[in-house]
Structure 1
């Protein structure tokens, strides 16, 4: 990418991050978790896919023993793995038995530090909830990116906003790796908070009418109380 191309990117995508780490988490259906984490301060990129199974190259129609999973790249100087895990246990039902393998609650750890943090978070969640946690703790092996239609699910149901961001990022991988795209997808789900959205909405590369549309849709989601649907 040339300097001129970089200058035309949304401001939030021009921010440099020196301490990037990755969390791989499964919380049932992956659309809601991707939107929730996408609006979280310190998160840089989100994507959804499949992990935890034994078969190669799973698809949504042929998952076999894989689990629907969200993967989050975050700036560890702004948000910690422990904070991500805290929200993980607040945002789904880790005590419930999944009715399908693909909706299993799971934490895929990449290091001893992540494993230790996950065990501590599970213990804290059990103490808080007073029930055994069914979340599986699994060593990270491989993450298969889900089909394009599953990425940024909330945004794909907002055609005007999707059109503007797709013009900025016509390449799918650049689109999917954009912080601006992750944020818009998250706010469209009613996640985050209005004060921060107002503060950073101008950094997403959207036109003024599109910014107002995002703000309106965010507030509608807040009224409906459906941020994780």
Structure 2
């Protein structure tokens, strides 16, 4: 019975995506989502390393620059609620499509994958070399399911357990390459904090320090109904 329900949901999602994107053999169409990787030890944390091609990354950076959010050097963050730019809707649809085409288990749970809209809140951050973000769990005013797309400089994001009483506390590093997508739901969204320390000497991966340049992050979330 569960297999029948799963197949029905997959067919529903494929019909939904076909209505959005049509039948396309475009080279920029999302690839088979075997590129989604579950992160061992953290339920609900998935990494899609090759989510965006180099050309799509370039197009997205151009679209963000055209918004004019970062013309002033003192401005490094932009937030939007509800009225998201068209490119953000396209990005959200791409996230839905790659997840729906991945088969079971979906990297995005059914109750999130089927909601409409998938996201209605956007944060774009521009980080200069050495700048990062402290460990945090996203506010409870946002629903389950948070997506982060990385552009520009690669970096290491660390996930750490929130429950300090648990022994021993755990810390899991995750490399975010340019064009990658991280999706957090369930335990990863609520029970793990995440942060990035990009100061010199802290961005180490496999024993080597990462050369840092400007990094752009795009975070997509959905507001809880009670806060809208």
> TM-score, normalization: structure 1?
0.26
The structure carrying a bigger strand percent of its residues is 2
The structure carrying a bigger helix percent of its residues is 1
